[in-house]
Amino acid sequence: MDRVVIAFALPGGMSADLALGAGMAGLAGGIFFVGYLFLQIPGGRLAARGGGKRFIAWSLVAWAVLSLLTGLVTQTWELLVLRFLLGVAEGGLLPVVLTMVGNWFPDHERGRANSLVIMFVPLAGVLTAPISGFVLAAYDWRMLFYAAGILSLLCLVVWLWFADDGPENARGLSTVERDYILGALRAERETARQAGAATTSLTALLRDTVAWRLIAIYFLYQVGIYGFTLWLPTLLKNLTQGGMGQVGLLSALPFVGAMAGMLAISWLSDRTRLRRLFIAVPLLGFGMSLLLSVQFQSEVWAAYFWLVIAGVFMQAAAGIFWTIPSKLCSQETAGGARGLINALGNLGGFCGPYAVGVLTQHYGSSMGVYSLVGALLLAGLLALMLPGKCDRS
């Protein structure tokens, strides 16, 4: 919610108050991902050593404060600096959490587990959209950032109470459950050791062409996801010519679809172990749905229908994608590998919003959407070209 609330603030008065053109608005949305680079690998490594809970607790404090400060900005440079720092504060989250998931779930459950965790993206969209519409109707865009900061501090309390780095000493876990988890993970690691780990260090990973293919796929995927997420409220406002309350409600449905898509695709992937196929299909479906939304833009509800279908595919590949690093790396380096892939790949989160903003400003909104379509279709084709070892346990 902290990172996407700006998508509603921009058309809700921020762009007008700060005199932001479409290009600068895209830069403000995307610069988050430049800061996002810095704590990826350190966060993943710390989580692999059992320090993930503490790392995320401090991160929550930092990004709550930064969100509150964003509500006070009066200059464009202040907004850019705070968005950059917010990216730094949130940067370690995903590799840390995915490494913690790897400490709790064996491979045959990990696709669904990753998808349930990554469901934070569509869930944030479902909650942020109507809440933002209500807040903008009753107050102003600054209140959006104050509310996000306060919610982050409430999440800190929940995190400290319930989270555990691994099952060894977790509260509320029965002996049978603990023995099952630890036994399954030990057997999995022993099998990987006997087969020979594909990669045993980050240095070796940097020489691995498959790793660079994964980085390219994730980069293009993030171009699509964050280009779509940041500009969805603006697209809907232009499409329907409605108020921000209506835009907030309409923006929620694609994210509801995203939750359904994540659950369905991850279940199919875990059941069949066809990881490459179930990464490629959502990427291609996401791209084609965005393309059709432009083709039907003269018919408001038909265009909206395809935006909702795009939402169904939007995050469906994410949980499955993150099962791959543990197949390429030893357990000790998988956290750092996730950080490396996430760090470089998330530069797409900078390029997507910025490219859409610049193309929209100079050539119209359709050209901005076409750039996302091209990125997603290329990512889908690259996913189909991944080697067979990405499917095997």
Look at residue 23 and tell me if it is in a domain: yes
In the block, tokens 């609330």 appear at 5
Classify residue 151 as left (phi > 0), alpha (psi -120 to 50) or beta: alpha
Buried/exposed code over 117-156 (b: 16+ C-beta within 10 A; e: otherwise) = bbbebbebbbebbebbbebbeeeebbebbbbbbebbeeeb
**DSSP label at 20?**
-
Give the model's confidence band at 110: pLDDT under 50 very low, under 70 low, under 90 confident, else very high.
confident
Look at residue 340 and tell me if it is in a domain: yes
* Of 32-36, 199-203, 285-289, 306-310, minimum mean pLDDT range: 199-203
Buried/exposed code over 308-328 (b: 16+ C-beta within 10 A; e: otherwise) = bbbbbbbbbbbbbbbbbbbbb
* Of 30-44, 64-78, 320-334, minimum mean pLDDT range: 320-334
Look at residue 309 and tell me if it is in a domain: yes
Residue 335 has pLDDT above 80, yes or no: no
Torsion of CA 257, 260, 261, 265, to 10 degrees: 180
Q: How far is CA 275 from CA 196, 223, 283, 374, in A?
A: 20, 21, 13, 22
Q: How far is CA 316 from CA 4, 99, 134, 185, 255, in A?
A: 19, 20, 29, 25, 11
Q: Who contacts 172 (Cβ-Cβ below 8 Å, separation ≥6)?
A: none
Report the C-alpha gap between 170 and 248 in whole angstroms. Answer: 39
Look at residue 1 and tell me if it is in a domain: no
What total of structural domains would you count in the chain? 1
**Reduced to 3 states, what is the DSSP secondary structure of residue 322?**
coil
Report the C-alpha gap between 53 and 47 in whole angstroms. Answer: 8
Q: What DSSP line would sit under 154-174, residue for residue?
A: HHHHHHHHH--SSSTT-TT--
Look at residue 360 and tell me if it is in a domain: yes
Look at residue 134 and tell me if it is in a domain: yes
CATH of the domain at 336: 1.20.1250.20
Q: What's the residue count for the chain?
A: 393
Q: Which of 115, 34, 99 is nearest to 336 (CA)?
A: 99
Domain region containing 152: 6-390
The amino acid present at 54, given as its one-letter code, is R
| Mean pLDDT within 376-392 | 85
Give the pLDDT of residue 86.
Answer: 92
Give the pLDDT of residue 196.
Answer: 56
Structure-token pair, residue 85 = 């720092």
The amino acid present at 366, given as its one-letter code, is S
Report the C-alpha gap between 59 and 88 in whole angstroms. Answer: 9
Report the C-alpha gap between 330 and 100 in whole angstroms. Answer: 15
Residue 111 has pLDDT above 80, yes or no: no
Residue 78 has pLDDT above 90, yes or no: yes
| Mean pLDDT within 344-352 | 79
